[in-house]
Amino acid sequence: MGVSNEQFRAAMSRLAAGVVLVTACEPSLDADDPHAPVGEDVGMTATAFLSVSLDPPLVLVSLREGSRMDDLLAEQPLWGVSVLAESQRHIAGRFAMKGRISDRLLFEDISYVRGDASGAPLIGGALATLECRTEQTVTAGDHTLVIGRVLSADLPSADGGPLTYFKGKYRQLG
């Protein structure tokens, strides 16, 4: 007894989800050397992101086990989240591509600021941005659930609605 991957994927595609960009900065190879190369910015589109607790403020993101972001957050506890607006579909698609180009090139023409608490890129025009510190990780099947304490929350843009994901496509409300 059980459900096939196709059945499960089809059923879950009927659940609309918000779209976020999770970001972090790789640590320098030698933190004691100010001339050592700075680590690369890394980003990943996610739809499995949710609020966990108000007190303390906690969020959860689900990462594919062994993905670049999963590996990075295992060693870098500080990360950022940008809640994407409906006009930012191109950003979501860019960071979700399989066989994509380097993260450095993905960030090249995107407006962002570096978070004060995390150092992570926070996307300009996002509906909200959060900076987080990993509190706990839980292995769940082929994913890692990362629970982060929210260190800062900002509302950089009040324009537009949220970017959502439904039935395998990016959508707008309404």
How many residues in the chain? Answer: 174
DSSP code string of 50-108: EEEETTTTEEEEEEETTSHHHHHHHH--EEEEEE-BGGGHHHHHHHH-TT---HHHHHT
Inter-CA distances, 139 with 9, 53, 102, Å: 20, 20, 27
Q: Which amino acid is at 81?
A: V
Percent of the chain beyond pLDDT 90? 70
Say yes or no to pLDDT of 98 above 80.
Answer: no
Determine the pLDDT at residue 84.
Answer: 96
pLDDT band at 99 (very low <50, low <70, confident <90, very high): low
Say yes or no to pLDDT of 63 above 90.
Answer: yes
27 vs 166, which has greater pLDDT? 166
pLDDT band at 101 (very low <50, low <70, confident <90, very high): low
Give the integer Cα–Cα distance in Å for 90 and 21: 12
Average pLDDT, the chain: 91
Determine the pLDDT at residue 100.
Answer: 63
Say yes or no to pLDDT of 30 above 90.
Answer: no
The mean pLDDT of 131-155, rounded to a whole number, is 97
Say yes or no to pLDDT of 34 above 80.
Answer: no
Kindly report the number of other CB atoms within 10 A of residue 169's CB atom.
Answer: 9
Percent of the chain beyond pLDDT 70? 93
pTM of the full predicted structure?
0.91
Contact in structure between 95 and 44 (CB atoms under 8 Å): yes
Give the integer Cα–Cα distance in Å for 107 and 111: 8
The mean pLDDT of 111-125, rounded to a whole number, is 96
Surface-to-core class of residue 31, CB atoms within 10 Å of its CB (0-12 exposed, 13-18 middle, 19+ buried): exposed
Determine the pLDDT at residue 31.
Answer: 65
